[in-house]
Amino acid sequence: KAGVTQTPRYLIKTRGQQVTLSCSPISGHRSVSWYQQTPGQGLQFLFEYFSETQRNKGNFPGRFSGRQFSNSRSEMNVSTLELGDSALYLCASSLGGRGRSPLHFGNGTRLTVT
């Protein structure tokens, strides 16, 4: 079974631009979560989608948004990029439900904002 796929792997953007990251979950997984990983803040939860609905949300500004499609694929968008948005963005999928199913992570998208 194929794992979680994130595209692109690397991205370089300029401050003020916007970016869209894509995540394809493991087949059969209905929940997709997004995390931001930086050396200073560690793993910070962005949001979780389950069956196309946002189920949980972290403490990030409205510039960070996401969505999930009917095939469970997910995208996250960051508008008006800031230098501090430079990070590794990780997507993780799980079966969903009541939470016993662990997260399965992709290899991430490394975003650099200049």
Rounded to whole angstroms, the Cα distance separating 93 from 5 reads 10
DSSP letters spanning 47-66:
EEEETTEEEEE-S--TTEEE
Residue 13 touches other proteins, criterion: CB under 8 A: no
Stretch that binds other proteins, among 13-21, 52-60, 62-70, 74-82 (CB under 8 A): 52-60
By the rule CB under 8 A, 60 interacts with other proteins: no
Residues in the chain: 114
Residue with Cβ nearer other proteins (1 or 100)? 100
Please work out, in degrees rounded to the nearest 5, the angle formed at the alpha carbon of residue 67 by the alpha carbons of 63 and 71: 160
Query: Which residues form the interface with other proteins (CB under 8 A)?
Result: 4, 6, 33, 35, 42-43, 45, 48, 55-56, 58, 90, 92, 98-100, 102-108
